[in-house]
Every structure is written in structure tokens, then in C-alpha cells.
Amino acid sequence: MESEDQMSQPITLADDGFDLVVGRYDLMAVDCWAPWCGPCMVMAPVIEELAQEYAGRVIFGKLNTDENPITTERFGIMGIPTLLVLQGGNEVERIVGAVPKQEIRNVLDRFLVVE
């Protein structure tokens, strides 16, 4: 597994082991999507770009809502794409719908610790 500073690609998440994975990272953005969802496909390259831009600071994950109904239901995901912002495994923010990259940056930047 890549170290946190090298994670520049989103990691695939599943119901099985979700808590274990997200609990490892201080700040994680989880893209909840489905293959049939047009707006999700529009957001996919944006998520990839953000994963590279925020490598070492924010870990990105992808959760296919069709294949992972337990986690989808647990977080009450009603519309996709939904980006869950998790801090220490707990949801602190969510962005629903296809939004500009800057809007996601603004949300993530609020949670990054300035050293």
C-alpha cells in the first residue's frame, strides 16, 4: 500500500472494511458514485485531479453506491454524486451534486491544518 504522501489516486472503498480504511486517515474525501450516473462521470476527472493536487494532505476514496448498499444507507446517501468529507472516520461535511472544483477545494481547505 502507498504511503499517505504518495496517494495521488483515489482508493476504491467497499462495505467490507470501509471503517477500517477511513479510520486510518485524518482527512478523507469519499466520492459516492454509480456507473450509470452522468453527473458522477463528469465529476470523476475532477476527483482524480484533486487527489493529485491534495496528495499527502487529503486521501480520496471512491464508493460505488450500487455495489455497496450498506455504507450508502448508513450515510443516508439519497443523491449522487455525493462527496463525503470524513475527519477521523466521521462525516464533517458533504457536497451533493456536480459542483465546480473550486467549491470542493474551499470545503477541503477549511479542514486542513495550517502548520
Extents of the domains making up the chain:
4-109
Q: Which residues are catalytic?
A: 37, 40
At residue 6, what are phi and psi to the nearest 5 degrees? -95, -5
Homologous superfamily of the 4-109 domain (CATH): Glutaredoxin (3.40.30.10)
Q: What is the pTM of this model?
A: 0.92
- The owner of cell 448498499 is 69
- Segment 85-111 mean pLDDT: 96
| Sign of the CA dihedral running 17, 81, 75, 111 | positive
Give tens-digit pLDDT for 69-83.
Answer: 999 999 999 999 999
pLDDT (average), residues 48-63: 96
Residue range 13-30: mean pLDDT, rounded: 95
